[in-house]
Amino acid sequence: MKIAVLVKQVPAVDTVKIDEKTGTMIRDGVDAELNPLDLHAVEAAVRIKEARQDASITAISMGPMTAQKAVRYAIAMGADDGLLLSDRKFGGADTLATARTLARAIKKAGPFDLLLAGERATDGETGQVGPACAELLGASVLSYVSAIEELSGEKVRVVRAVEGGHETVEAKLPAMVIPVKEMNVPRLCTLSGKLRAKKADVEILTADDISMAAEETGLTGSATQVVNVTYPKVTRCGRRIAAADGIDAAIGEIMKIFEDKNCLEKAEAV
């Protein structure tokens, strides 16, 4: 059984920046990490591999060359090999163009019996790439999966988290399984896993390698574009109370504000 796991390298949450001119994410010179929700997809794939001797896992990502770090992390967790789509032509792709590019690469590297992807990426929060990729590949989509009950050579049965409870559904393979974080607890990478990932050859594919025309990917191939970037403005007037004169003085200032606004109840005399 061949399994493909889609992973993405994202900026660390506190370093997310947007280019105001292009409306795209600034990825150069910022701390990056493997998308946290993708860890649950990798963990699910590795557990399947541990239960089935015929299973192999390929971690697939799209991004700059630095995104090899995310692919290697998936290999350190237990994936067998990795594939990175990296080309300036892919830059600025929206969810549709990204899914289209990933689907083309999956067809080239496949066929795969099972696909897994994270619920969403922390830098975009759309949750669209996994399902869109499956649609382009003609695969079933099983989202919000909290457990995989059965997996055979022809079908997969899962438990989905839905509003008000859970439901059990079956789908023919190939299928895209998108787990929720409650599905599992991602493992920590072992030393041997890290050493194996360091030595692993991550295959790099460009637009030409997957016969991707410029109008199909990147900004040109995107159906949506960010036309304006704005930042929230603080509209309330605040007052900062410093503790330079001591904590007691600062507390006294705060209590005076409460008293002036009649926020305190006077204690009755005993």
The 10s digit of each residue's pLDDT in 186-204 is 999 999 999 999 999 999 9
Length of the chain: 270
**138-159 average pLDDT score:** 94
Three-state secondary structure call for residue 58: strand
List pLDDT tens digits, range 220-251.
889 888 777 777 776 677 778 888 888 998 99
- Residue 209, burial from CB neighbour count under 10 angstroms (0-12, 13-18, 19+): middle
State yes or no: cis peptide before 174, omega within 30 of 0: yes
Output the pLDDT for position 259. 87
- Distance CA(7)–CA(142), nearest Å, equals 17
Query: For the chain, what is the mean pLDDT?
Result: 88
Half-sphere exposure of 90 (CA within 13 A, CB side): 25
Output the pLDDT for position 220. 87
Domain residue ranges of the chain, discontinuous segments joined by + = 2-216
Q: What confidence category does residue 174 fall into, taking pLDDT thresholds of 50, 70 and 90? A: very high
Looking at residue 63, the DSSP 8-state letter turns out to be: S
Output the pLDDT for position 83. 96
- Distance CA(177)–CA(144), nearest Å, equals 8
Q: Answer whether 0.75 is exceeded by the pTM.
A: yes
Output the pLDDT for position 32. 78
Output the pLDDT for position 187. 94
Output the pLDDT for position 13. 61
Output the pLDDT for position 24. 59
List pLDDT tens digits, range 5-32.
999 999 876 555 666 565 555 555 557 7
Q: What confidence category does residue 92 fall into, taking pLDDT thresholds of 50, 70 and 90? A: confident
Output the pLDDT for position 265. 76
Which run of H or E residues covers position 247? Answer: helix 247-260
Stronger pLDDT, 23 or 117, i.e. the higher one:
117
Output the pLDDT for position 261. 85
Output the pLDDT for position 19. 61
Output the pLDDT for position 27. 55
Q: What confidence category does residue 123 fall into, taking pLDDT thresholds of 50, 70 and 90? A: confident
Output the pLDDT for position 26. 58
Using alpha carbons only, how large is the chain's radius of gyration in Å? 24
Amino acid identity at 252 = G
Q: Which of 75, 32, 34 is nearest to 198 (CA)?
A: 75
- Distance CA(268)–CA(251), nearest Å, equals 22
In Å, how far are 96, 143, 181, 265 from 268, measured between CA atoms? 67, 60, 52, 9
In the chain the beta strands, taken as DSSP E runs, fall at: 2-6, 9-11, 32-34, 56-62, 81-85, 114-117, 140-151, 155-162, 165-172, 175-179, 202-205
Half-sphere exposure of 132 (CA within 13 A, CB side): 15
Amino acid identity at 120 = R
- Distance CA(4)–CA(176), nearest Å, equals 9
Query: 175 and 115 in contact (C-beta within 8 Å)?
Result: yes
CATH architecture for residues 2-216: 3-Layer(aba) Sandwich (3.40)
Stronger pLDDT, 262 or 69, i.e. the higher one:
69
Output the pLDDT for position 12. 73
Q: What confidence category does residue 164 fall into, taking pLDDT thresholds of 50, 70 and 90? A: confident
Output the pLDDT for position 214. 87
